[in-house]
Structure 1
Amino acid sequence: MSSSSSQNYSDTDSSPDMPTPALTRVPPELWEHVFSHIHPLRRRHGLQIPDTAALFSAALVCKAWSEPALRQLYKIVRVPNDCTAWAEVVTEGLKHTGPAVRTLIFEPADWVWDNLNKASTTQVLSECIQLAPRVQCLSIQSPIGMDDADFEAALTCMIQLSRLKKLEWIRTFFPAQKSGEVDLDIIFNMSHLHRIRETLPYIRDLWLGPILHSSVESEPIPKWARLTSLTLESVSIDNEDLYNILCNQRSLRHVDLSYADSLTQAGIVEALKCTKKTLRSLRLAGTFKPRPVGTPTRAFQPVLREFTALRSLRTTLRAPAFSAAALVHPPPRLRRWKSWDVMPGVGPDVVRRFLETIPVARERIEFVFTVRWESWETDTEDGKARMARLTQSCQSRGLVLMVEKGQPATTGRPAEGEVIVRSLVGL
């Protein structure tokens, strides 16, 4: 690793108790020695389990060599919240490397043998957060056995994270290992958002989910002083709740609503109007009401023109009013619109019917569809006819159409079995 990579750390990362020495290049032999002690934990597959002494020795060697090496090795730490033995090893290691950690992630590992009980889950969260005071990004994924009391305990520990900029707290549903029952555990509602705002008023990036509607009448959430990105996953709140979340957040640049089946398109637009001067990126995933493809778009056209900073819009084809309105009368800075819908049957005819609802646009906009490849097979006569109709429709409307098959997910592009359809409006 070159010395330049060590110099990328900002001045704010340096502190009196962690001076930066002149020697910043770590010998490859040292890296090999350290990584030789760190193996994946597969308790029932015959691999070695790294003990505390091995990791402790590795940490001491790195610390003795140079502080930048310590920061490079332990900048990101992942703590499995479903395996007691490995969680204890990581927690013990944080006693020596905690000040170097910038990203702390609690997540289920690839293996699930020994689930932590409720008390252990809360204890691991609390201990690790206390041992890593310089964390800037905290991610808690699929916590097992947590309830409101554990939520308050974990939130209290976060008060000491004065440098925290990003918080991800999301719950993935999966069957309980023994009983086969679905363990819902902590599910957020408006009261939890109020508590997070009270405890972390200076957070910049917030990602929560799932969020359910509460029977108690909600109040508007006070303004976060620095919040610029908000992601709400598996949203089951109503339009009023969404408005109360966004009405005071007038500095947001990115909003992401995932699987928001309980919201209407009109309700989303009304809530988003609070951020129309600053919002640069908007992502909407799910089936919004009303659902038919022929939903009138006139009500949305003048509203979307008011989003003067919006540059990127991502929706599903099942939110047609947003998509069509954005392309009929796009915001002045909108340059990219992306849609994905990998449900079977979303093929050339569906895309063609959608494109035919859009008049010829004056601005240049790139829009991308991601759909299932099975719906785009052109080997049959029927498939060739569908593609011919789509191509003819694009040509008649002045659109440039490019179709390419997706690549494996490791490349960052759509996974195999999907297809990208790129078009340019207003060339």
Structure 2
Amino acid sequence: MDTPQHPAAAHRGDGLRDTALRALRTAGTSIGRLVSGLGTALPALLVLLWAAVTAVTSLAGVGLLMAPAVLRALHALAGRERKRLGRWGPEVIAPDPPPTRLRLALADPTTRRELRWLVRHATLGLLLGLFGVFLPISAVRDTAFPLYWRLAPTDATATSLGIGVAHSWPDALAVGLLGLGWITILLGLGPGMARLQARPGRQLLTAGPDVDLSLRVAELTATRAAALDAHAAELRRIERSLHDGTQNRIVSVTVLVGAARRMVARDPAGAGELLERAQSAAEQALAELRTVSRSILPPVLADRGLAGSLAGLAANCAVPCRIDIDVPERCAASVEATAYFVVAEALTNVAKHSGARQATVTARSRGGRLRVRVEDDGHGGAEGPSPAGPRGEGGGSGLRGIRSRVAALDGSLLLTSPPGGPTTLEVDLPCGS
């Protein structure tokens, strides 16, 4: 007969399991950050060597010709690192574009900070990135060694360090213990290594304090103006919908009911017909009122969440639409509503104007940011040279409304739509707005 488990013991077991899962997730994230850092550390080493060669040859005058190219490569690599850091954490705000002329670059503080970052990332960042590749491979290899050591060639190296030979079970188990040691190092030091690798970029690649403050003030001023404009536009839209639709329906109901009252004594059949028309008008007014209320904050967001809501929009789109949504946690209601309306407006434009055969909706939530992408294979031209074009903002396509909604939440919007397509709309929103 099974003995029932004590509730306290079950609670402790659940707590240990949750702790282990959190540790594994943290370690996996740390590995991803370290390996992604390797993607910029290797080019940083090449740019650093290129800069050193340019500095040496500049004494003979040859390196002066290569200096602008080196500076452009440095600035491009620094921009790539800012984007990488933004994917794994808070956004790194870029300063004003630094100069590429050598004399101006030598006196530019942004260029000097980028050079300091280059040296640190090409050395320490590269080493930490290599650890991010070596540690998980060594942990898996050494931990699993006791399972296959008899199949290994005789006198083959037993450990991932390239030393030691296993001739017996104790030797194989010792290698397995070494693998557990790698796992312990990865779990304990992985997050710190990832932070250490990212620290030079977050310290040196962001805008300076004065520049950052003025930039932030300008951004907040523009955001406040956009929020007020979006709020006023939304009020005008609701007032227009109520005035042109619901109010007219209710007036019609009032007129029909009054006429039916006057006719009920002398023409009951005609009064009944008027009451049926009044009931139909009242039902239409109720439907329009429900539509207006849902356009303020769709209830489907509360019922099904952002993922389910976007899936519903994709299913109802006239153009075949694929979805790829990974939003594990709920965002603020205003952010989810904005993402919902952005996708709804974008898919409406795709169906009406693009001539596309397929569309794709992608949503990702990473590092406190919600990124939404809508892409179609239509003929493009969403922002053509004519502002009143078929899909331009002046043509009533709703792009200005999308921009206002996104700006009101301190987000960013990028629209790419060359003639001939494809059209890509990307929106980046802070999850906690």
**Which protein has the bigger strand share?**
1
TM-score (norm 2): 0.20
**Which protein has the bigger helix share?**
2
Computing the radius of gyration from Cα coordinates, the structure with the larger value is: 2
Higher relative contact order (CA 8 A, sep 6+): 2
TM-score (norm 1): 0.20
